[in-house]
Structure 1
Amino acid sequence: PVAAAFFAEPRLTPIVRVLSLCFVGMAFSVVPQALVARALQFDRKARIEVLTAVVSSAIGLALALAGWGVWALVGGVLALHLVRAVAFQVVQPCLFLPVPRPAELRGSLRFSGWITLDRILWFGYSNIDVAIAGRALGGALVGVYTVAASLATLPLDKVMSVVNEISLSAFSRMQGDPQRIRQGVVASLQSVSLLAFPISFGMALVAPDLVEIFLGSQWLAAIIPLQILCLICPFRALGVLLAPALFGTGHARLVVENNAITVGCVALALLIGVQWGVAGLCAGWVAGYLPSFCIAMRRTLIALEVPAGPVVRAITFAVAASLAMAVTVLGARGLVAPLTPLLELASLIAIGAALYALVVAVFRPDTLRHVWMLAAQK
């Protein structure tokens, strides 16, 4: 009822109540999933994720064809959590009634409490934009914003979710080796910078072509919001790397403090920005996240005793190389203009990728080889 009242949509009440059953499935999957990740068995996890996606999509489609309407989506989500729970229990059986002594639980409960607070804060700042847009802009403009946000984060979301899990397990194993931790933090930030900035800046450059070709002229209003959001996505990708490094080395409280700062900055900026519509809301992300990212990065580097110089140089180089790519792509537009829209888009992407790879190969060959080796291993 609270969610229904917030969005002034009474039909939400039964939907939210049924979706709450997802927590039952999560309870049976979270422990075996964590054990699989801890053992770095990501091939098994990937197969389970593919299985759950296929089964849940099939069930959702079948219910939709049967005329279930919005309940088809609900059924698909419930099926996803049920299949995931069963699959992880098969791969890593973990059914037990925990009866430890209170003294044994104290440390785990403290750490789990910080993780829970972190998840709540992360959920808050990840979804507060839609909540604010829903209240201030109305359904049509919320749709424009949602499409822009989904496109902006699409290239990096799946990659960073895997990197996040791998990083947590890896840093947990490095707890007794501060030097390896420092090297790992710098290497991960360098690698993600080299990938995130050109992808996001490139998407901002070709956003008009991308939207018109794949979404149609009815979504042209999403172009400017998409371009603005692409400016902040690389920094959000880098921010994802901070929590695993801190959690893995026992600095759970610092993660919560960083996220609290982020929530405050982003919420305030979004509330101000939404007064200027969808573009203002997107600009709020840039204005709110950038300062909180800088604060969180500084606090993290100090806690892990990582020198700031290599990190700043890595990010600066990625930004500079991406800007060089952007200038080249803008200059090449006139050359590829006679082509069909799809060929023009493909040509611009190829030109930008080639120029960026050339710049990195000339000025950062060692880093390029490192990223290539990581990609080959995946």
Structure 2
Amino acid sequence: MTNDKALKSSVLHSLKWVALGRATTQILRWILTFWVISILTPEDYGIVAIADILSSLLVTMASTIAISPLVQARTLDKAAISSYFGITLCIYFLLFCFQYLLAEPIATLYKTPYVAEVLKVSAWCFLLMAFETIPSALLRRAMAFKKLALIDAMSNIIAAISTLLFAIYGYGFWALVYGGIVAAAVRVTLLLYHHPAPCLPSFNVKHSLPLIRFGGSISVFTLLWYIFIHLDITIGGLLLSTTEIGIFTVALNIAVMPQRKILPLVKEISFPAFSQLQDEPAKISYFIVKAQRLGLLFTLPIFWGLAAVSDYILPIILGQKWEAAILPTMLILVLMPLRFSDELFQPAAKALGKVSYLITNTLIMIAIIALALFITADLGATGLAMAWLLGFPLIYIIVLIRYSRLFNFQLGTFLYSISKIVLSAALMVISVIATKQLLGTPSILNLLLLISVGGVSYLLALFVVERKTLKELKQAISTR
């Protein structure tokens, strides 16, 4: 049986270091990201977004196949590590070839010649990243997130500064490409320096067959999940101009920015933690529901608060040329708490080995969102955002029912447990909108005032209607 206090202490220690590492770089990265957006054009982002359809898919699949099986395995010896090291090297080399050969066909399909050049250049990253997988997986398995946080912080800061410098010196969309290459090179170098692989690669697959089987099922889920997440750009890229795609990409990047910073933090810690509890499903059920409630406590005010002030943030930070991104940003932000909640279930399902459950969920998601996108895509960037707003609530209802059966919790009880948090966030939004009616044109001072009103109104609402969850949060972060 797992020692609950020891696991809690390990999770909180890991969370502290991952959060600290992210926090120390986040403000700087946001400033630099917005600076880069103000320099580049919608077309620059459109070109990279189209190329990203393929390259991000391959990167995501490769890292998932290489890392997840090593983290999830109950036992792991040097022979299995060596064998799987050899397999991952082969996989990354094949992915390099695959992306390089598909560069021209993808560019032809989307009628954007620069896409081929971007894909060919970024393909070389696979030959670098092949050597980071074993050190990264073993550090995650040991929950050594302090070291990982420091490495990520250093690579992210250097990459963000590099991207900005390339943008300032007129490299256009290449600034985004070269920035990604710099990030990969720095991260691999630091990982190999601080935690080199404990053995040389071998190609005797019999020592890693269980890892290969789990990695295969994970790869199917990852492929489907990637298709789902990138359906908007994939379908929109065929029907809309690169400028419209660029506007939607910036809107999407701004809307999902908080999730991209918060959710990986939670998932990279919760997966190894749940893996330690895989023989105790009752505990997983308890902790996943608790994590959902505490997750919504933070994500609802962040996403809905940003939605309420997007018409102030974007003109102030990005300038008038990105005004068309305001409405798509708002629409996506409204549904982001549901996407966060859905993805928060996934580490527990993986830890239980229920990857087929995730595959079925993702197939349902793809069908619904694809239909919504074809219906609304002719409305441009706003239409792509509307597809998510219309389709994802239906998706969430379906998958939530399925998760309640998988994790054995009462759906009605779960919904009631989060209802007061949702009410508090709704009251916050109403307070912000009411305050906006009293203010003039967007300005930094007015934006700060709106943020203050939103924060105070949310905390007051929680204190009045949901003190229980606040006490639960205090208990959760207590190390005693």
TM-score by length of 2: 0.73
2:202 aligned to 91, 94, 98, which one? 98
User: What is aligned with 2:298?
Assistant: 195
**Pairing of 1:18-29 with structure 2 (within 5 A):** 18-29=121-132
Structure 2: distance between partners of 1:67 and 1:204: 32
User: What is aligned with 1:347?
Assistant: 449
**Aligned-pair Cα RMSD in Å:** 2.4
Letter in 1 for 2:425: S
Letter in 2 for 1:257: T
User: What is aligned with 1:175?
Assistant: 278
Task: Output one character per residue of 1:36-91: Cα deviation in whole Å (capped at 9) or x when no partner.
Answer: 12222222111111121233345555666777655454333223222212222233
Structure 2: distance between partners of 1:77 and 1:327: 40
Task: Output one character per residue of 1:94-124: Cα deviation in whole Å (capped at 9) or x when no partner.
Answer: 152235553x533322211111112212221
**Stretches of structure 2 lacking an aligned partner (at least 5 in a row):** 1-103
- Quote the offset at 1:338 in angstroms: 5.7
CA contact (8 A) 2:162 2:179 kept: yes
CA contact (8 A) 2:156 2:183 kept: yes
1:239 aligns to 2:342 (yes or no): yes
Higher relative contact order (CA 8 A, sep 6+): 2
CA contact (8 A) 1:35 1:92 kept: no
Structure 2: distance between partners of 1:373 and 1:326: 28
Structure 1: distance between partners of 2:227 and 2:216: 17
Structure 2: distance between partners of 1:265 and 1:140: 26
1:127 aligned to 218, 230, 234, which one? 230
Letter in 2 for 1:130: I
Task: Output one character per residue of 1:120-144: Cα deviation in whole Å (capped at 9) or x when no partner.
Answer: 1222122221222222221222222
- Quote the offset at 1:16 in angstroms: 0.9
Task: Output one character per residue of 1:275-324: Cα deviation in whole Å (capped at 9) or x when no partner.
Answer: 22222211101222222222222212211222323421233322221111
TM-score by length of 1: 0.91
User: What is aligned with 1:362?
Assistant: 464
1:10 aligns to 2:104 (yes or no): no
Structure 1: distance between partners of 2:146 and 2:292: 24
SS in 1 for 2:131: helix
- Aligned-pair identity in percent equals 28
CA contact (8 A) 2:372 2:387 kept: yes
1:258 aligns to 2:349 (yes or no): no
Structure 2: distance between partners of 1:349 and 1:25: 42
CA contact (8 A) 1:189 1:314 kept: no
CA contact (8 A) 1:48 1:88 kept: yes
1:307 aligns to 2:410 (yes or no): yes
1:222 aligns to 2:325 (yes or no): yes
Change (3 A) 1:14 1:256: same
CA contact (8 A) 2:316 2:442 kept: no
- Quote the offset at 1:188 in angstroms: 0.8
Change (3 A) 1:3 1:352: same
Change (3 A) 1:75 1:152: closer
**Stretches of structure 1 lacking an aligned partner (at least 5 in a row):** none
CA contact (8 A) 1:22 1:78 kept: yes
CA contact (8 A) 1:186 1:310 kept: no
User: What is aligned with 2:310?
Assistant: 207
User: What is aligned with 1:144?
Assistant: 247
Structure 2: distance between partners of 1:210 and 1:62: 24
Change (3 A) 1:61 1:352: closer
When structure 1 is superposed on structure 2, of 357-366 and 157-166 the one drifting more is 357-366
- Quote the offset at 1:240 in angstroms: 1.2
- Quote the offset at 1:374 in angstroms: 5.9
Structure 1: distance between partners of 2:315 and 2:478: 34
- Quote the offset at 1:332 in angstroms: 2.3
SS in 2 for 1:305: coil
Change (3 A) 1:211 1:375: farther
Change (3 A) 1:375 1:147: farther
Letter in 2 for 1:98: S
CA contact (8 A) 2:256 2:336 kept: yes
CA contact (8 A) 1:168 1:247 kept: yes
Change (3 A) 1:77 1:217: closer
